[in-house]
Structure 1
Amino acid sequence: MPHPLKYAVVESERRFLLRSMPTGVARTTEIVDRYLTGTRLRLREVTDPDGTVVRKLGHKVRLTDGPERVACTSVYLDDAEWDVLRALPARTLQKRRHHVHVGGVHVAVDELPDGTLLAEVDGGEQPVTDVPSWLDVIREVTNEEDWTGAALAAADVS
């Protein structure tokens, strides 16, 4: 039997609530996530500032060796596939993602509809040990299920 993570990319990420938006925003995208009811699947639509739209089906699973390690699998969808899957029941989360670049470090800061700022520091396959000092952190929420996208969609933060 093939390894269950054969097609997944393992990422190490930590999440933080922020008091303020850091300087250095290089790009901002609009994201609509649809968490399909009864599954661990997410439909994501990302709109770039130039109007380009990317749609994908994702599967994100926390690994047992720590909540900051996540196995991610994505499938890019064409319009017909998107239309079929979008018809499935789901909870929706809309957010604005700010891509911040300071001193060679990239941080994604999601601005939720209520103004909450949620930063994600991604270390790729390596654990995130250093949190950028320029982030105005309220607290770390990596281990808090309430701050996952699926939980925020269920809570309807709009």
Structure 2
Amino acid sequence: MAGPLKYAVVERERRYLLASMPDGVTGTRDIVDRYVIGTRLRLREVRGPDGAVTRKLGHKVRLSDGPGEIACTTFYLDDEEWAVLAVLPARTLRKKRHTIARDGWVLAVDEHEDGALVAEIDDRDEPSDRLPDWLDVVKDVTRDEAWTGGGLAR
């Protein structure tokens, strides 16, 4: 499988449903994800606090059972490319992504339109089960398909 994934980056993320937003927010971005129906493709539009917009096409391949380990390939799109692809049928997910930097931890907390808060911890090449003690975890949803972006998209 190494050949087809030559240009992919492996993500090893853990996800946790939270009861509250932790202190230490260092930045917030608005994200709209469009999961193209019938594919493993995601169109993502990110708006930064300065109003700058970044548009990407992502392709995800699972490396194990469940959503915990995924090979991701990303292409940055210009306005014309975005316009061509944005008309494809897709399910949409809108969220605010808050970056939290505190006590040596850096993680993302996604705030969904319904108010749900989902923390993502990227383990990179060092799988771990450690959590910061200040993270108000309700439930580990790492292996729960319903809490993946594609599972939450409507």
Does TM-score exceed 0.5, indicating one fold?
yes
Would the alpha carbon gap of residues 66 and 87 (structure 1) be closer, same or farther in structure 2, given more than 3 Å must change?
A: closer
Identity of aligned residues (%): 62
Question: Residue 151 of structure 2 corresponds to which residue in structure 1?
Answer: 151
Query: How much has 1:63 moved relative to structure 2?
Result: 1.1
- Residue 139 and residue 83 in structure 1: after superposition, are their counterparts in 2 closer, same or farther (change >3 A)? same
Bigger mean CA deviation after superposition, 124-133 or 16-25? 124-133
- Contact map agreement 2:16 2:140 (CA 8 A) in 1: yes
Q: Is residue 32–residue 46 contact of structure 1 (8 Å, CA) maintained in 2?
A: yes
Moved more, 112-121 or 60-69: 60-69
Matches within 5 A, 1:7-156: 7-64=7-64, 67-153=67-153, 156=154
Deviates more, 1:53-62 or 1:28-37: 53-62
TM-score normalised by length of structure 2: 0.95
Structure 1 runs of 4+ aligned residues shifted over 2 Å read none
Question: Does the CA contact (< 8 Å) of 2:67 and 2:145 recur in 1?
Answer: no
Gaps of 5+ in 2: none
The answer as to whether partners of 1:33 and 1:45 remain within 8 angstroms in 2 is yes
| Mapped partners of 1:23, 1:74: distance in 2 | 31
Aligned length: 154
Decide whether the 8 Å contact of 1:121 with 1:128 is kept in 2.
no
Q: TM-score, normalised by structure 1?
A: 0.93
Amino acid at match of 1:63: L
* Structure 1 residue 64 displacement after superposition: 1.8
Would you say the 8 A contact 1:13–1:128 is kept in 2?
Answer: no
2:66–2:145: 8 Å Cα contact kept in structure 1?
no
How many angstroms does 1:65 deviate by? 6.7
Q: Report if the CA contact (8 A) 1:99-1:107 is conserved.
A: yes
Structure 1 gaps of 5+ residues are none
Q: What RMSD in Å do the two structures reach over aligned CA positions? A: 1.5
